[in-house]
Amino acid sequence: MSRFASVLAKSPLIQLDRAFDYLIPEAMQNEIAIGQEVVFPLGRSKKRQVGYVSALSDTSDYATASITSIQDASEVLSSQLFDFLRAVADRQCVALGELIALAVPDYMSTVQRLPAIEPRALEVDVLVPKLDAALGARAAVLTSARQLEVAGTLVPDWALLLLANALGVHSRGMSSIIVVPERADIDIVVDLAHRLGIDDQFVFLKPSQKKSSRYQLFHQIKESRQVIVVGTRSSIFAPVKNLGLIAVHDDSDDSLRDQGSPFTNTRDLALIRANGDVELLFTAPYRSVELQRLVAIGYLSDHKVVDAPLRISYSEPGLRMDESGFKIVRENLDRGPVLVLLPRKGDSASVYCAGCGDKLTCSCGGHFWQPDAANTQCRLCNKHFVACISCGSRNQKKGRTGSSRTVAELGKTFPNTAISEATGDKKPTGLKTKNQIVVATPGSAPRVPKGYSAVLILDSDVWLSRQTLSAQQMAVRDWMEALELLSPTGRAAFAGLPADLGNALSLGQLIPMAKTALEEARELGLPPAMRICSLQALPETLEAAVSAAKSKGAIALWVDEKAGSALIKFSYNQGPAIAKELRVVAIGATARTQGVTKRRGLRVVMDDPQAL
Task: For residue 518, give the 3-state DSSP assignment.
Answer: helix
- Ordered DSSP codes for 324-367: HHHHHHHHHTTTS-EEEE-S--SSBS-EEETTT-PBPB-TTSPB
Task: For residue 175, give the 3-state DSSP assignment.
Answer: strand
pLDDT digits (tens, 9 = 90+) for 281-305: 999 999 999 999 999 999 999 999 9
Residue 18's contacts (CB-CB under 8 Å, 6 or more residues apart) are none
CATH code for the domain defined by 4-103: 3.40.1440.60
User: Would you say residue 349 has pLDDT above 90?
Assistant: no
User: Would you say residue 1 has pLDDT above 70?
Assistant: no
Question: Residues of the chain with pLDDT > 70: what percent?
Answer: 100
> Is 175:243 a contact under the CB 8 Å cutoff?
yes
Burial of 120 (0-12, 13-18, 19+ CB in 10 A): exposed
Third-level CATH fold of 311-521: Rossmann fold (3.40.50)
Residue 411 has a pLDDT of 93
Q: What is the CA radius of gyration of the chain?
A: 27
User: Would you say residue 595 has pLDDT above 90?
Assistant: no
Burial of 199 (0-12, 13-18, 19+ CB in 10 A): middle
Mean pLDDT of 73-94: 97
User: Would you say residue 373 has pLDDT above 80?
Assistant: no
The C-alpha atoms of residue 491 and residue 461 are separated, in whole angstroms, by 21
Mean pLDDT of the chain: 94
- Listed range (266-275, 306-315, 508-517) with the worst mean pLDDT: 306-315
User: Would you say residue 602 has pLDDT above 90?
Assistant: yes
| Per-residue confidence band for 338, with pLDDT thresholds at 50, 70 and 90 | very high
Check for a shared fold between 138-304 and 311-521.
yes
Which residue, 414, 416, 443, 446, is CA-closest to 431?
Answer: 446
Mean pLDDT of 295-322: 93
Question: In the chain, where are the structural domains located?
Answer: 4-103, 138-304, 311-521, 531-606
User: Would you say residue 126 has pLDDT above 70?
Assistant: yes
User: Would you say residue 399 has pLDDT above 90?
Assistant: no
User: Would you say residue 306 has pLDDT above 90?
Assistant: yes
The C-alpha atoms of residue 293 and residue 528 are separated, in whole angstroms, by 7
Mean pLDDT of 200-223: 96
Residue 335 has a pLDDT of 96
Q: How many helices (H) and strands (E) does the chain have?
A: 15, 30
Three-class DSSP labels, 371-406: EECCEEEECCCCCECCCCCCCCCCCEEECCECHHHH
Residue 420 has a pLDDT of 96
In the chain, the N- to C-terminal Cα span, in Å, equals 55
pLDDT digits (tens, 9 = 90+) for 425-458: 899 999 999 999 999 999 999 999 999 999 999 9
The C-alpha atoms of residue 342 and residue 400 are separated, in whole angstroms, by 11
* Residue 332: how many other CB atoms lie within 10 Å: 21
User: Would you say residue 250 has pLDDT above 90?
Assistant: yes
| Per-residue confidence band for 611, with pLDDT thresholds at 50, 70 and 90 | confident
Query: Does the reported pTM lie above 0.75?
Result: yes
> Is 567:594 a contact under the CB 8 Å cutoff?
no
Residue 566 has a pLDDT of 97
**In b/e form, how buried is each residue of 552-581, taking b as 16+ CB within 10 angstroms?**
bebeebebeeeebbbbbbbeeebbeebbeb
Third-level CATH fold of 531-606: Alpha-Beta Plaits (3.30.70)
Residue 207 has a pLDDT of 93
Task: For residue 246, give the 3-state DSSP assignment.
Answer: strand
User: Would you say residue 322 has pLDDT above 90?
Assistant: no
The C-alpha atoms of residue 104 and residue 96 are separated, in whole angstroms, by 12
| Per-residue confidence band for 158, with pLDDT thresholds at 50, 70 and 90 | very high
Task: For residue 144, give the 3-state DSSP assignment.
Answer: coil
The C-alpha atoms of residue 396 and residue 387 are separated, in whole angstroms, by 9
pLDDT digits (tens, 9 = 90+) for 545-594: 999 999 999 999 999 999 999 999 999 999 999 999 999 999 999 888 77
Mean pLDDT of 12-22: 94
Third-level CATH fold of 138-304: Rossmann fold (3.40.50)
